[in-house]
Structure 1
Amino acid sequence: MSTTKLDFEAPVRRVITAHDAKGTAIFASDDILYPYDPTTAPAFSAPNENSGFGVVQIHRSRGFPADNQRELKDPHKTLVPLADTKGPSCRVLELFPAESGWFHRTLSLDYAVILSGEVTLIVDGGVEKVLKPHDVIVVRGTNHEWVNRGKEPARVFAVVIPSKEIVTDEGVKLEKTPAGEIFDPKEEDD
């Protein structure tokens, strides 16, 4: 199945379970979420070829281990850090074709699966791996860049978990890349 522009702009269905007051499993929500360009906050416009990427925020847990009884705000169409320091988050990234991406480091453990399209993952020294649908990637706080050099948009499912700081054998602390207010919004206490 090839990815088309229509498929790329297709919504993501998000179903969340919870418990009622008696502990019975229930469906807490069943929503249709559309990709948005976080750089257009607070309008959160639809992504386009000039956006570079779009995102669908699926879930955000505050704390670890996750408290599955805590009432959570819906993270979709909010500014959520690239790697939330207060708990794991889950998202779908949509990458438009481009010659380059953004080289960055997050202090996180990221699990990603290519859902559609083709994505190049680049690490230090310009070393590259081309990833295709169903390839699974584990990014362990390393400098990296996602680039879609194909002709069609690509979709990536990712779970981002905050990690301990990274310290080299020489004692150098590897810092996260400052991302600006859009990608490093002030943390809420919730």
Structure 2
Amino acid sequence: MATKNKLPPMRRYITTHSKDGEAVFVSPNQIPECVPSRPAGDDGDLALVYATATFPVQAHDETDVAIYDDFMHTPPDLTTPMGTVMRVIDMKPGKVTPMHRTVSFDYGVVMEGEAELILDSGERRLLRRGDFCIQRGTSHSFRNTSDSDWCRLIFVFLPMEQLTVAGRQLGEEWYDEQYESGSESVGQGGEPEARER
């Protein structure tokens, strides 16, 4: 039987300026304060906390707020090519995300539970509540180490320049295999099979 997500609901408060230049909050009638989430396959739930289409962010006349409102109705990919994205991932107990690479510079924080960060080299680190990771365009996966509790991770994705490693330009990739329990499936030449998006 599936374990119900008992993590607390998320709220976000967006600030702006009044016509007199004072700091105020964006009306919840404009952008709801409760952050909606949607299923992320069998892995758990995914929430788009905020996203922009440019970096530096264009915040004059609430340009970014209007863009985020559009994103709420037509969600972007995991990242945006020239903007920023803030996401929350609630992972079901025992779940492992697909091994993947995004062409982005990512700050990640474990908010609840524990997660194992797995790299395509096989290196791993256990992240506990309050721990951070910085993903610099590397292939990685996360595993919720608990068999009973959900895990909540928050990520901020920033655009990065084209990444070249060992003479090869790297793009977004999603591997077909799961990296679980210290084992991995590999393709020809000993490399995990990947597909570019």
- Same fold per TM (> 0.5)? yes
Larger CA deviation: 108-117 vs 69-78 = 69-78
| Distance in 2 of aligned mates of 1:136 and 1:73 | 26
What stretches of structure 2 of length at least 5 have no aligned partner?
176-196
The answer to whether the 8 Å contact 1:108/1:161 transfers is yes
Give 2:173's aligned residue. Answer: 177
| Distance in 2 of aligned mates of 1:172 and 1:117 | 36
AA partner of residue 14 (structure 1): R
Give 2:48's aligned residue. Answer: 57
Deviations 1:112-163 (A, max 9, x none): 1100011011002221111100001111110000111212110011111111
Within 5 Å, which residues of 2 pair with 1:31-46? 31-38=33-40
Give 1:165's aligned residue. Answer: 162
Match for residue 146 of structure 1 among 134, 142, 145: 142
3-state SS of paired residue (1:72): helix
3-state SS of paired residue (1:73): helix
Match for residue 67 of structure 2 among 49, 68, 72: 72
CA shift at 1:19, angstroms? Answer: 1.4
Against the structure 1 CA distance between its residues 6 and 176, is the aligned structure 2 distance closer, same or farther, given a 3 Å change threshold? closer
CA shift at 1:21, angstroms? Answer: 2.9
Within 5 Å, which residues of 2 pair with 1:1-190? 5=4, 7-8=6-7, 10-30=8-28, 31-38=33-40, 51-69=42-60, 70=63, 71-74=66-69, 75-76=71-72, 78-98=74-94, 100-151=96-147, 152-168=149-165, 170-177=166-173
**Equivalent pairs, count:** 164
The answer to whether the 8 Å contact 1:52/1:98 transfers is no
Give 1:47's aligned residue. Answer: none
CA shift at 1:6, angstroms? Answer: 5.4
The answer to whether the 8 Å contact 2:15/2:26 transfers is yes
3-state SS of paired residue (1:125): coil
What stretches of structure 1 of length at least 5 have no aligned partner?
40-50, 185-190
TM-score (norm 2): 0.75
3-state SS of paired residue (1:57): strand
| Distance in 1 of aligned mates of 2:163 and 2:68 | 30
TM-score (norm 1): 0.77
| Distance in 2 of aligned mates of 1:99 and 1:92 | 15
Against the structure 1 CA distance between its residues 145 and 90, is the aligned structure 2 distance closer, same or farther, given a 3 Å change threshold? same
